[in-house]
Amino acid sequence: MARGYASYPSHTVINMPALSPTMTQGNIGAWKKQIGDTIVPGDVLVEIETDKAQMEFECQEEGILAKILLEQGAKDVPVGSPIAVMCEEASDVAQFKDFAPTAAAAASKAAEAAPAAVPAAAPTAAPAAAAAPASAPAAAPAAAAPAGRVFASPLARTLAAQNNLPLNTIQGTGPNSRVIAADVQRTLAQPAASVAAAAAPAAPVGAPQASTVVSETETPFEDVPLTNMRKVIAQRLGESKATIPHYYLTATVTMDRALKLREVLNAKLAAAGQGKLSVNDLVVKASALALGDVPAVNAAWWPATGSVRQFKRADIAVAVATDAGLITPIVRGADAKGLKSISAAVRDLAGKAKANKLAPHEYQGGSFTISNLGMYGSVEHFTAIINPPQAAILAIGGMDEKIVRVPGKDNEFTASQVMKVTLSCDHRVVDGAVSAQWLAAFKKYLEEPLNMLL
């Protein structure tokens, strides 16, 4: 927030907040206050959609809401961009009817708020076009870019680079024709053909023009805009696969005893009017206990301190599919929780995730991740990409009935429910022998499930 005076009464410009350490942009949700409303510290001003969740922004200033600069639905607004104005006196509200921050000032504030650098392990979102205030001045028509260096603000350079947009295709409206963030956002909002036309040299008179007719061999398509969450997933998992030396171990778990225990426990829970346990709840508990047995897997690659960080508690991140993308809310201290508590926590977190209502502390961090596709039935097994900086992720496939040998009986066979699991590990942190020990411990807990109750 910044106080301003100039030709307006004393006022405070409210900027897009950074509601998490990795947030670089957000979408404007529902405004909880209207123009003319009195605001005191702690009041919820507006809902902000980040790359992970819909969050309420609590104002820390006291005053009167004089102007809403970005209405509900504004997309990809960079952190630090002005979103509203507060004044000190109710009688001054009318004077802000036509208030609009200058593009240069808005870009400067956004540049100041933007993080200078983001660690490779931290999720980041690639900022895209933000909705501009209706009263912003119209942009000048695109002109041919001057030869040589293009002058641009740091934020403009970042936005352009993250969207693969050459700076020489952008008409600058800042001081001395400098390209500012608003220019990049305006250009991104234009159709691709307009941007290409601005960059391309004019064709000589009489030269053949490029055909705009779609080839009959071109497959029809639709470009679906990326959500903030999808941008983070793309960047984060792309970095993981490119920079982490993955290796994979697969095991087959006989689930008959675990399923029988689940049946018995669910009968007791149903009689008490409580929710049922899922197979995934058993998987979470078994994973947490195995991390206690083999703590070297409960770790992370930590280049900031030149070390491997070993965690003292099993904070299990559980992958949840939502309409916007994948998110991993965390069951904290799962090693110390009972199955009923784990089940309640997973159910609560999954519900919040699908409603886009997770708070930052509910999805940030974690020491180990589980991705379960077993509920889809047709998935026998798969490999998952590590969620950095964690050292491992467990992929759970579906259960199937197989003929297996009865333990201790060479010539006796029986039909059993079996489940394949695959552990992806970071070879910088976890050696193969260590991950094999963890997988054996995990398998034992599910095949001898009474040990999870002790």
**Tokens representing 409?**
């009986």
Residue 419 domain-assigned?
yes
CATH code of the domain in which 32 resides: 2.40.50.100
Cα separations (Å) of 152 from 11, 118, 182, 266, 387? Answer: 29, 21, 11, 63, 35
CATH code of the domain in which 358 resides: 3.30.559.10
pLDDT of 102 reads 62
pLDDT of 210 reads 46
Give the DSSP H/E element, type plus range, for residue 317.
Answer: strand 316-318
Q: Which of 92, 223, 381, 427 is catalytic?
A: 427
Q: Which domain holds residue 369?
A: 245-453
Residue 323 domain-assigned?
yes
pLDDT of 233 reads 87
Which among 58, 78, 95 is the end of a domain?
95
381 given a catalytic annotation: no
pTM tops 0.75, yes or no = no
Q: How many domains does the chain have?
A: 2
Which among 79, 95, 111 is the end of a domain?
95
- Alpha-carbon dihedral sign for residues 155, 109, 136, 224: positive
pLDDT of 162 reads 66
Give the DSSP H/E element, type plus range, for residue 445.
Answer: helix 432-447
Residue 212 domain-assigned?
no
pLDDT of 64 reads 94
C-alpha–C-alpha distance, residues 276 and 278, integer Å: 6
Contacts of 276 (CB under 8 A, 6+ apart): 266, 269, 270, 343
Residue 124 domain-assigned?
no
pLDDT of 1 reads 56
Report residues of the chain scoring pLDDT below 70.
Answer: 1-6, 21, 102-149, 154, 162, 175, 189-215
pLDDT of 167 reads 82
Q: What is residue 27's three-state secondary structure?
A: strand
Residue 211 domain-assigned?
no
Residue 68 domain-assigned?
yes
pLDDT of 449 reads 97
Residue 238 domain-assigned?
no
323 given a catalytic annotation: no
Residue 190 domain-assigned?
no
Which among 95, 125, 154 is the end of a domain?
95
pLDDT of 190 reads 66
Q: Which of 11, 335, 410, 431 is catalytic?
A: 431
C-alpha–C-alpha distance, residues 260 and 258, integer Å: 5
